Structure 1
């Protein structure tokens, strides 16, 4: 029976060595996640990093990312792929992590990728929208996505994109979804898409939409209170998700590592209802 195992690590929020974004050791969390994966009976077909790799998009954080991937993830012996989120800087990522030369002035092309596994096509989209918390794919990338999904043949596809498309009923969080999600849904609905794997929410989220499963992974950096209706409330905790593809079906399991759950911040502006 053909089986592909896609490990999803989301919202790493890495900083320069020694810095603690939001008062938590995000680099240490990534090491904890890697250690937990080694202890499991799981051998990934691919590892995907689903955005907000850096907290501030600076060179030092991407150097940290590059080193941690080499130390902690490359030993799994499978492809390690990434998409970008709202906290990222596309040009800095390309220069520091990929070693690319600086592009011409004004050139800021989306960072996309396709990986064909035995029984599934992985399509990685770039929803980073410079200067915005919400995400955007744009017409050109949606046309590219349509083409990649059509070219999957008999295999189903799994899409990886940082921003969610599905409202969760939390006013502040629902302001920061994928801006062109209606157009995205039209493309997805035309093809055999087994799942859309997202990040951004810092909490496990799953919904059926546009004919497929949309699943957001818990964050590596810290978790958010999904009930906070104003501001935001974050607490310690790290986790990841595993998407298992078997006979065309995507099964997503979220894993949270044991943690005291210390509150990191509370920016809510109103009392509890």
Structure 2
């Protein structure tokens, strides 16, 4: 599988944001040049920065062309910078829906694609209660089948302590559902740098770098942004996933610096419990 994240195309498409489109095309061209036949390509969120319905309609057409060229299906999920309503109308051609999550079965393995987009203009991630219930039910229907999960926002870990403000905020609720199931790994993006770590003492999490920039977060309050392009290749054999990072471009010059204030978890969290019915 090919895992691409944080494309961050700039609307209006295709007349604007040609550099971002070129970065994505660079990845597709690299996949084609290596004569590797992927079974699946996943674009893991932050597709378009506040795109319109027309932008997502163009993206759907573009990705269909690339899918036919590479001979592999392309699946997408939403990130914090995406416009959910515009995506629903332009990319899916459907009415409004609260989240975009789905499941696929490939070679007797289940792949879950979750929607961790929270609120407009909020970088942190959140999984809605209804989505967690759906995931819980789906895992129980196939308890022995190996499962892998894609979502945009990474889970918390000691090494990411200074980035909790931008991670998935309801980690514990997700881990409680995954506990005891045959989950082989979680694949995320969002951070704009690659990372690998364990959560819950056994569950591997792999974070893909971005197709747009690399962000140096060593200074917790000053994040340096570089132009960069990379993607991951995920190989699964006998239920065990191995990941190879393929960097394609890196500019050592700092393009911008992102100031960060509070690095802890957000204080205001949505209610997980549904209101009681009368």
- State TM-score, norm by structure 1: 0.86
Q: CA RMSD in A?
A: 2.1
Partners of 2:157 and 2:259 lie apart in 1 by: 20
Q: Which residue of 2 aligns with 1:174?
A: 164
Cα pair distance change 1:116/1:137, threshold 3 Å: same
Counterpart secondary structure, 1:232: strand
Cα pair distance change 1:179/1:70, threshold 3 Å: same
Which structure shows the higher strand fraction?
A: 2
Cα pair distance change 1:73/1:238, threshold 3 Å: farther
Residues 103-122 of structure 1: CA deviation (Å, up to 9, x unaligned): 4xxxx421011111014211
Shift of 1:76: 2.0
Partners of 1:189 and 1:7 lie apart in 2 by: 27
Alignment of 1:91-130 (within 5 A): 91-100=85-94, 102-103=95-96, 108-130=97-119
Cα pair distance change 1:223/1:168, threshold 3 Å: farther
* Unaligned stretches of 5+ residues in structure 2: 262-278
* Unaligned stretches of 5+ residues in structure 1: 1-5
Counterpart secondary structure, 1:13: coil
- Choose between structure 1 and 2 for higher RCO, CA contacts under 8 A separated by at least 6 residues: 1
Alignment of 1:1-273 (within 5 A): 6-15=1-10, 16=12, 17-20=14-17, 25-100=19-94, 102-103=95-96, 108-131=97-120, 132-152=122-142, 154-167=144-157, 169=159, 173-210=163-200, 211-268=202-259
Partners of 2:67 and 2:250 lie apart in 1 by: 22
8 Å CA contact 2:114, 2:149 repeated in 1:
yes
8 Å CA contact 2:191, 2:207 repeated in 1:
yes
8 Å CA contact 1:165, 1:181 repeated in 2:
yes
8 Å CA contact 2:77, 2:100 repeated in 1:
yes
Partners of 1:258 and 1:168 lie apart in 2 by: 29
Q: Which deviates more from structure 2 when the two are superposed, residues 145-154 or residues 32-41?
A: 145-154
Q: Which deviates more from structure 2 when the two are superposed, residues 197-206 or residues 183-192?
A: 183-192
8 Å CA contact 1:135, 1:163 repeated in 2:
yes
Partners of 2:100 and 2:149 lie apart in 1 by: 14
Partners of 1:32 and 1:170 lie apart in 2 by: 30
Cα pair distance change 1:154/1:40, threshold 3 Å: farther
Cα pair distance change 1:226/1:267, threshold 3 Å: closer
8 Å CA contact 2:155, 2:167 repeated in 1:
yes
Aligned length: 257
Shift of 1:168: 5.6
